[in-house]
Amino acid sequence: MSERTRRGGAGEYERATRAAKYVLDRTRLWPRIALVLGSGLGDFAEGLTNAARIPYAKIPHFPRSGVPGHAGRMVVGGSGGVAVAALQGRVHYYEGYSAREVVFPVRVLAQMGAQAIVFTNAAGGINAAYGQGALVVVRDHLNWQGTNPLIGPNDPRFGPRFPDMTEAYSKRFRQAALEEARRLGIAEHEGVYAAMHGPSYETPAEIRALRTLGADLVGMSTVPEVIAARQMGLGVLAISCVTNMAAGILDRPIDHEEVLRVGEQVKQQFAALLAAIVPRIAEAISPVGTAGKA
Ligand code: HPA
């Protein structure tokens, strides 16, 4: 990636357009719903019909993740008759990418025509009501990464310089997700997600501080992507999988293997929930429309 790309200067919009065109040239679908699937949570994309699977390495300008559990490809296909584009794996700020680079894939999904986006992630549970493996609908966030993907020159074609974040996580989508969870017999949880830099996990003192500040969940992703998605006017839903209780809550250390293992255990349930939510979101963004149907 060039120095100019790194700094996110002029041409970012054109790069996103080029990447979007590359993907759309390889499918006959017009996905209006995008999904970003986190660590070990990429299973949903395996079930898509008429799928085009495109490795990130092939997509112009796309950043690549080196984190185990992140497949690194885009899958465009149908889910319950709705065309979707799913990213299996994301890049993170802690990998050394700038916040701007981290959100480039979301820029591409928007350029492809997505109007709504669903983020999934693995997170530590701070709220004692959650257990390991709980799926939690994100109600709001704390951006504790100390950076923002919109820092630097603003291209108004993406959206406003100062985007509103009052209802960053669509109330309508959240309600639909909670209803579908209930229908599937999955415990309903909603919470506030705090994004930290990583890659070290938090200390117990940091977790106590985050709890005092109103956080229910802690993780190392999603928030920059949500900010970029909101700037571009996409409707956002985010769901966390509590892969572990946050530091100091249980008397034992946190390790990434365990995070992956718990993701593995709930992946089918998570995929079923996403499959149930997609048609609800499709309905919300276009009540009777058929555009984008797979
Ligand atoms: N902290 C931060 N990120 C995480 C955690 C955690 O405990 N679990 C999974 N991602």
Task: pLDDT tens for the chain, 294 residues: list them.
Answer: 444 444 445 599 999 999 999 999 999 999 999 999 987 788 899 999 999 999 999 999 999 876 665 569 999 999 999 999 999 999 999 999 999 999 999 999 999 999 999 999 999 999 999 999 999 999 999 999 999 999 999 999 999 999 999 999 999 999 999 999 999 999 999 999 999 999 999 999 999 999 999 999 999 999 999 999 999 999 999 999 999 999 999 988 998 888 888 888 898 999 999 999 999 999 999 865 444 445
Ligand 1 centroid to Cα of residue 225, in Å, is 17
Beta bridge partners of 237: 118
Q: Could you tell me which of 233, 279, 172 has the C-alpha nearest to residue 290?
A: 279
Does the beta carbon of 192 lie inside 6 Å of ligand 1?
no
- Count of C-beta atoms within a 10 Å radius of residue 291: 9
pTM equals 0.93
- Nearest CA, atom 3, ligand 1: 219
| Cα 85 to middle of ligand 1, angstroms | 26
Torsions phi, psi of 287, nearest 5?
A: -50, -45
Residues with active-site annotation: 39, 70, 92, 94-95, 122, 220-221, 244, 256
Comparing C-alpha atoms, which of 70, 62, 156 is closest to residue 103?
62
Q: Is 169 helix (H, G, I), strand (E, B) or coil?
A: coil
CATH numbers and ranges of domains, the chain: 3-284 (3.40.50.1580)
- Amino acid, single-letter form, for residue 251: D
Q: Is the peptide bond before 253 cis (omega within 30 degrees of 0)?
A: no
Please state, in angstroms and rounded to a whole number, the distance separating the CA atoms of residues 84 and 155.
26
Q: Ligand 1: which of 222, 239, 259 to mutate, judged by most atoms within 8 Å of the beta carbon?
A: 259
